[in-house]
Amino acid sequence: MIREKLVTGLMLNSKQQPDLICEPCLAGKMHANPFPTSDSHASKPLELIHTDVHGPLPVRTHSGYRYWTTFIDDYSQFRVVLLLKAKSEAFDAFKQYKAYAENLLEAKIKAVQDDKGGEYMSNAFIQFTQEAGIERRHTTRNRPQQNGVAERANCTMDNDITAMLAESKLPPSFWGECIASMVHVWNRLPTAVVKGATPYELWHKRKPDVSHLRVWGCTAYVHVQKDQHTGLGPHMQKCVFIGYPAGYKGWKFYNPDTKKTIISERADFDERYFAGLKCTPDIPPPSPMSFPPADIIPPPVAPVPGQDLGGDDAHVPNPVPCPVTPEADPPAPPPAPEHPVTPPPPDPPVHHRVPTPPPFEPIDHRPIAQHRVPCNVRPTWKMRASPPPVQNAESEDELDVIDADAGFVEVQFAGLSAGADPWTYKQAMGSPDADKWQQAANEEIVSLMANNTWEIVPLPPGKKAIGSGWVFKVKHNADGSVERYKGRLVAKGYSQRPGFDYTEVFAPTFRQSALRLILALAAAEDLELRSVDISSAFLNGDLEEEIYM
């Protein structure tokens, strides 16, 4: 301003050096400097291990896991993921990883980088690493960038399993199997950090064979062994491919009908089709298969008793504790008729038409022209190659008991094999009893309108509407005759988010054992019982959440 003579009366001595630190300036303008990129890199395996715990996830696996912990070797970028039920299990997971890695590589872990979370700072954890001579490196407070390798890996894996679950249309409770398969594949892919090799090659000192890899969540037809095959029964089971099991020469499948996992090396894969998907991009043909070792270590727990372990395709559960999901109560008996059943009159009786079950194979209701999608699929003769030995350790979820999440998958695969009740409105209108199903749907709509169940409004910005569908069922009397055709318009609850779209899921219903006890007491005391049937009783509840459908 002096040189340009913009002001008058300003006198400055240019020879005087300004203060290097201006405290008021820092108070008003100080900001966090960007984090520099680290150029250091380990020169050998186990020189530095990055670790971080991810979770809790909103949905538990079938064995109750809500977290996972990641261990990444800085030299090879090889990942190992372990599932946890609580953060406090991180110490046991580290001891398990340390034993696995040091035994495999015949080396010792030199340093561990973590985010200084409470799960890493317990007295037992600190004492263990001190006795082992392991250097501990921590991030400063609220600076996850300093543990960027593990943090970024967890973020990427979270995104990947979300995409895989969305494509396969499997419930979120399958995320344990999903992340196991995702890490198994990731370790066999090149990375930006490692040049000219894959993490698997640097970790195991040999190139990986990827011919055994399949599209996760696709439809698979698993061969039924001779000792399990019955006369006139099918030679295959229609399943879902869910991963690469530990220590078996085969793949891992989930059977929606039996709700069990199957491990078998004899299977044909249809990688075009998923539970609800039609076609995926072309898949290149495979070469002869082999199964390299694994990337995920299962926790050492006792196997579940009472499981069939005979043969390679036996129904084999994972070696984990029983799932925490409680088994559903037995279904209520069909309601007795309101009036005593009187003998039919002499005139010829009117027989209600009861639909008959369809054949074993699920029915495809698409037009005939759409039964073959012009999409390449691997030749079936190449699917029958027997893979060499595997030393794989993947997920530890037990799927013998499934929770309500998997009902949607079961519906998708079962088709009409459980009975003749239609699954969709389109099927109902195309059936011979279309007029009865239409009447049931009309009655449901009238009931919903009479109870002021909803209000038609425009969808507000930022809100997401959940889907809806029809559930049709033929209700029978105690003597087996048809009572009525029933239709229910329901929301697709599997798309709802816990804590946002719903909170409590309690319903005041009693068990079959309680009903039998009441009947027994009434009979013993010579009491009279009365029952009340309220039409659409569930509509009388007040919904506290704001739901758009």
Which stretch of 129-138, 210-219, 510-519 has the lowest confidence by average pLDDT? 510-519
What is the tens place of the pLDDT at every residue in 160-170?
Answer: 999 999 999 89
* pLDDT above 80: residue 377: no
Which stretch of 43-52, 171-180, 224-233 has the lowest confidence by average pLDDT? 224-233
- Architecture of the domain spanning 2-9+23-32+39-204: 2-Layer Sandwich (3.30)
- Where is pLDDT greater, at 522 or 226? 522
* pLDDT above 60: residue 28: yes
* pLDDT above 70: residue 496: no
Determine what percent of the chain is predicted with pLDDT higher than 90: 35
What is the mean pLDDT of the segment spanning 48-52? 96
Please report the pLDDT score of residue 14 as a whole number: 66
SS3 528: coil
Which stretch of 201-205, 412-416, 518-522 has the lowest confidence by average pLDDT? 412-416
What is the mean pLDDT of the segment spanning 120-131? 95
DSSP 295-331: S-PPP--PPPTT----STTS----SSPPPSSPPPPPP
Please report the pLDDT score of residue 531 as a whole number: 84
Which residue, among 301, 177, 179, 288, has the nearest Cα to 241 in the 3D structure? 177
What is the tens place of the pLDDT at every residue in 394-444?
Answer: 343 444 433 434 433 433 333 333 346 888 888 888 888 889 989 999 988
Domain locations in the chain as residue ranges: 2-9+23-32+39-204, 218-270, 425-539
* AA identity, residue 4: E
Burial 60-71 (b: 16+ CB within 10 A, else e): bbbbbbbbbbbb
Q: What is the dihedral of CA 149, 155, 161, 166, to 10 degrees?
A: -150
CA distance 395 to 62: 11
**Residue 540 pLDDT level (bands cut at 50, 70, 90):** low
DSSP 276-296: S-------PPP-S------S-
Burial category of 357 from C-beta neighbours within 10 Å (exposed 0-12, middle 13-18, buried 19 and up): exposed
* pLDDT above 60: residue 355: no
What is the tens place of the pLDDT at every residue in 238-281?
Answer: 999 999 987 787 899 999 888 889 999 989 999 988 864 443 33
* AA identity, residue 420: A
Burial 426-455 (b: 16+ CB within 10 A, else e): ebbeebebeebbeebbebbeeeeeeeeeee
**Residue 383 pLDDT level (bands cut at 50, 70, 90):** very low
Please report the pLDDT score of residue 35 as a whole number: 66
